[in-house]
Structure 1
Amino acid sequence: MTKLHSETLGQGKPIVLVHGWAMHSGVWRDFAEALAQHYQVTCIDLPGHGRSDKISPFTLEQISAALASSLPEQPCCWLGWSLGATVVLDIAERFPERVNSLILLAGNPLFAQAETWPGMDARLLAMFADGLGKNCQATLSRFLALQVSGLADYKVLLKELKESVFERDAPDTLILQGGLDILTQSDLRPAMSRLKCPVSVILGGKDTLIPVSVGKQLLQLNAGCEVNILDKAGHVPFLSHQQEVLTIISRFLV
């Protein structure tokens, strides 16, 4: 079995935090500690990220199975950010008995833009993929900058994001490419439409990766989900607008 690194804080209703592409669970640190004042919070490193063992191939099916087998079998709330939102949607589809609610933070069931669906420009995803083989560190730095661009405290947030991400070695190129492949190719819209559990979506009005217009599309897929828009947030609302995100979660998990 693939050994995944996780850390659990606090007591209360269980919430699992699943990070985004090229990251590790350390990116949650301040947010997780604040959330753990009221909940039992588990932060887990995706396979091949942070302190977790690698898996091969790095596919959505393998990732979901590894996470499900690495954590207690109790049903819980799964909060996924960016790529993590794709992962938790897949877990809800494959292991519905493990999920009692979902929080999609700056996520999109179809990450790459399609003709009738708002998403990240596929050409930009391709540029990141191309850059990995040339200069991985520079490519990751550009990706981090994109996540906070346009925000008032851009420099402070970027410094904080870089410090937390780069405290661990980056995943290897095959893992990073696998993550981009998942973002480029996965279409979890059918899974979103079939969800039976409560779903909360949190989007940033200034997110350069996830167009805020995806919120209306998600409501058409699943009329039972709630969509929350933080007008001044970008792609990392748990960092830039921590209190607002905590308030949404506490209201959702009453």
Structure 2
Amino acid sequence: MLAYERFGTGEPLVLVHGISHRRQAWYPIAEQLAEHREVILFDLPGHGESPALAADGRHVKDVLQEELIDLFFELDLHRPHIAGNSLGGRIALEAAADGLVSSATGLSPAGFWKGGHDFAYIRAHFALLQASGRLARPVAPALARPALARKLMMGSLMTHGERLTPEQVVGDLNCMVAARPALKRIFAEGSRFDSEIADEVPVTIAWGSKDRVLLPYQAERARRQLPAAEHVWLDGSGHVPMADDVAGVVDVLLRGSSHGLRPAVAHVA
């Protein structure tokens, strides 16, 4: 069983973190969301406190889908709303394409790069993060104490890393290093998003204007591929925007997970 947390009141909203991250990535916005939604956070296989990503010959995409379906069954969730960041955004979109959810929101979702060179850049980015994380691990608790140091340590992922506590930064770093086997396997099967989503499933795509991992040009590719979706800019936010723009991300997730006609979202691309 995947490690999870469940709290709040309202319609269920499942939140999926990105590759080499953990469910605590959503903590900066969780309390505000919980005032309006029942929030479900969980650690992906091979991440955080969840079991390892199974290596039994199946494609990673199929494994992640089956784990998500099992989680829905265990928690008695029938077509909940879902939102995800990075890999989690890709998982959310795939769940929408498979008819598993009532709505899907992707924050810089993976799968909209141009081709091999772009994907090589993404892999190199995470390889560098892994290498620097392993080197910094022994001194990370002391290194993360000053706010400026936290901003620099998290600078490739977010614009306001100083808003995280030292404990959060150290926890994220340890999780990233421990998730290396899962990261390697997921990257080995990396592919672009090419699934079709039925028009009746509301989809929202939001992109940080300062994303240094999945570069912002990919937002335009997502717009062309998913023209029926609502497309939103998170101005000034990085790849992991939850601490960069708490109010903006909460607004996007609440609007994205609302039934029926939705009013226009601010900062539409």
> TM-score band (shorter)?
0.7 to 0.9
Q: Deviations over 1:139-180 (max 9, x none)?
A: 9999943112xx3x4544595752441475843532121233
Tell me if the contact between 2:33 and 2:254 (Cα under 8 Å) persists in the aligned partners: no
Which one of the candidate residues 182, 187, 196 is aligned to 1:180?
187
1:77 matched to 2:77: no
The 1:161–1:234 alpha-carbon spacing in structure 2 relative to 1, beyond 3 Å, is: farther
The 1:121–1:59 alpha-carbon spacing in structure 2 relative to 1, beyond 3 Å, is: closer
**What's the secondary structure of 1:62's corresponding residue?**
helix
1:204 matched to 2:208: yes
Query: 1:80 & 1:19 partners in 2: Cα distance?
Result: 6
The 1:131–1:106 alpha-carbon spacing in structure 2 relative to 1, beyond 3 Å, is: closer
* Aligned partner letter, 1:147: L
Tell me if the contact between 1:128 and 1:139 (Cα under 8 Å) persists in the aligned partners: no
1:113 Cα shift? 3.9
1:226 matched to 2:230: yes
1:206 Cα shift? 0.8
Query: 2:129 & 2:28 partners in 1: Cα distance?
Result: 30
Q: Which deviates further from its counterpart, 84-93 or 16-25?
A: 84-93
**Matched length:** 238
TM-score when normalising by structure 1: 0.80
Q: How does 1:39-118 map to 2 (within 5 A)?
A: 39-57=37-55, 59-71=60-72, 72-93=76-97, 95-96=98-99, 98-110=100-112, 112-114=113-115
Q: Deviations over 1:31-89 (max 9, x none)?
A: 11221110011001101211111232271210111121122341111111011112222
Measured on the aligned residues, the alpha-carbon RMSD in Å equals: 3.0
Tell me if the contact between 2:102 and 2:202 (Cα under 8 Å) persists in the aligned partners: yes
Q: Deviations over 1:182-222 (max 9, x none)?
A: 4xx2221x21x434311011111111112222223222212
Tell me if the contact between 1:26 and 1:164 (Cα under 8 Å) persists in the aligned partners: no
Q: Which residue of 2 aligns with 1:145?
A: 155
TM-score when normalising by structure 2: 0.76
* Aligned partner letter, 2:106: L
Q: Deviations over 1:97-117 (max 9, x none)?
A: x2110000121323x4428xx
Q: Which deviates further from its counterpart, 167-176 or 36-45?
A: 167-176
Tell me if the contact between 2:13 and 2:257 (Cα under 8 Å) persists in the aligned partners: no
Tell me if the contact between 2:82 and 2:101 (Cα under 8 Å) persists in the aligned partners: yes
Tell me if the contact between 1:13 and 1:76 (Cα under 8 Å) persists in the aligned partners: yes
Identity between Structure 1 and Structure 2 (%): 24
The 1:6–1:60 alpha-carbon spacing in structure 2 relative to 1, beyond 3 Å, is: same
Query: 1:212 & 1:13 partners in 2: Cα distance?
Result: 31
1:215 matched to 2:215: no
Structure 2 unmatched ranges of 5 or more: 141-151, 259-269
Query: 1:240 & 1:21 partners in 2: Cα distance?
Result: 18
